[in-house]
Homo-oligomer: A and B are copies of this chain.
């Protein structure tokens, strides 16, 4: 059996003593601040398709995925760098300009400053590496490793939208050229944008970090099932989540019926929703704000002992929740 991406990262950690494994790396050289840094590599035809991801939205998404990592550390994003490699024919077009325009749009909304990067030529495919540096007060960064049994498990926003969007794109759907009153097209645009223009939960990340409300946190990038397992493994705990509590995107539910798609599968294993999955001590649950930046949170389960495994209940039945999300290898 070939080694998975996650096994490889484990091997790096063991060989080099690297503190790898959170959404972002933490380093600090002063007594006041912790700096967190994350990098996300996006490769054409693996992570996006040129034909379906408009460059403006790609610029947005490249930064959004990294902002989501910084949010998952409970930190404030501050600075950004972009390395971009494109083939000659793409360089001749407006692609790179539109990419940076999209990047600048979301950067300015979150007050993130573009400070550098690199450009390179490639032979065929577009590659993008997005780097974001954030910061928080010393000891405030939220890792994956500190959830304890009894903690309540929460997730921001809704799940399944990005995966539904990807399925529809694979079936040939495009963003509507103009606003249509047609109810179905609006739902389709909604899930396409969840895939193509994800909104990182930057505000929630900062609140949870600053108020020290989350014991552990991760962003839902690989898929809830995978990311919950990552968090539980790092913390050495188990978990039980309840299927009926999952905030499945309502528009996904409505779109799925006629398309032979299962909303629960999309919500559990779909990935790229870029919501925050976090754990909270029971006594702190009442201190949680109801909304941040218009986004609600939902309690979906509880942290258990490691020996309880990571499971999901549906009515009276309980299953193992195995990681079923995105893996590169």
Residues of A within 8 A of B (CB): 2, 5, 8-9, 11-12, 15-16, 18-20, 22, 24-27, 29-30, 32-33, 35, 37-47, 78-79, 81, 83-85, 88, 91-92, 96-97, 100, 104, 113-125, 127, 129, 131, 133, 135, 328-329
Report the nearest B residue to A19, measured CB to CB: B115
- Tell me the complex Cα distance, A214–B116, Å: 22
- The residue among A35, A42, A120 with the most chain B CB atoms within 10 A of its own CB is A120
B24 touches A122 (CB 8 A): no
B83 touches A120 (CB 8 A): no
Report the nearest B residue to A86, measured CB to CB: B329
A121 touches B328 (CB 8 A): yes
A114 CB contact (under 8 Å) in B16, B78, B104: B16
What is the minimal beta-carbon distance from A185 to any residue of chain B, in angstroms? 32
- Tell me the complex Cα distance, A119–B129, Å: 11
The oligomer's copy count stands at 2
B116 touches A83 (CB 8 A): no
Report the nearest B residue to A114, measured CB to CB: B18
Q: In the complex, what residues of B have CB within 8 A of residue A85's CB?
A: 41, 43, 46, 127
Report the nearest B residue to A32, measured CB to CB: B30
A39 CB contact (under 8 Å) in B92, B116, B135: B116
A100 touches B16 (CB 8 A): yes
Q: In the complex, what residues of B have CB within 8 A of residue A113's CB?
A: 18, 27
Q: In the complex, what residues of B have CB within 8 A of residue A45's CB?
A: 123
- Tell me the complex Cα distance, A125–B126, Å: 11
Q: Answer whether A91 and B35 are a contact pair too, CB < 8 Å, given A46-B123, A125-B125.
A: no
Q: In the complex, what residues of B have CB within 8 A of residue A118's CB?
A: 39-41, 129
Q: In the complex, what residues of B have CB within 8 A of residue A2's CB?
A: 91-92
Taking A16-B100, A27-B78, A46-B120 as known contacts, 6 extra A-B pairs with beta carbons closer than 8 A to each other, sorted by chain A number, are: A11-B97, A25-B81, A39-B116, A43-B123, A91-B329, A124-B125
B39 touches A122 (CB 8 A): no
Between A and B, 25 residue pairs with Cβ closer than 8 Å are A2-B92, A5-B119, A12-B114, A20-B116, A27-B133, A29-B33, A30-B33, A37-B115, A37-B116, A39-B116, A39-B117, A40-B83, A41-B119, A41-B127, A42-B120, A43-B85, A45-B123, A46-B121, A88-B329, A121-B328, A122-B127, A124-B125, A127-B127, A129-B129, A131-B131
- Tell me the complex Cα distance, A314–B120, Å: 34
What is the minimal beta-carbon distance from A132 to any residue of chain B, in angstroms? 11
Q: In the complex, what residues of B have CB within 8 A of residue A30's CB?
A: 30, 32-33
A120 CB contact (under 8 Å) in B19, B38, B47: B47
Report the nearest B residue to A120, measured CB to CB: B41
What is the minimal beta-carbon distance from A281 to any residue of chain B, in angstroms? 28
What is the minimal beta-carbon distance from A28 to any residue of chain B, in angstroms? 10
- Tell me the complex Cα distance, A68–B97, Å: 29
Report the nearest B residue to A127, measured CB to CB: B127
What is the minimal beta-carbon distance from A37 to any residue of chain B, in angstroms? 7
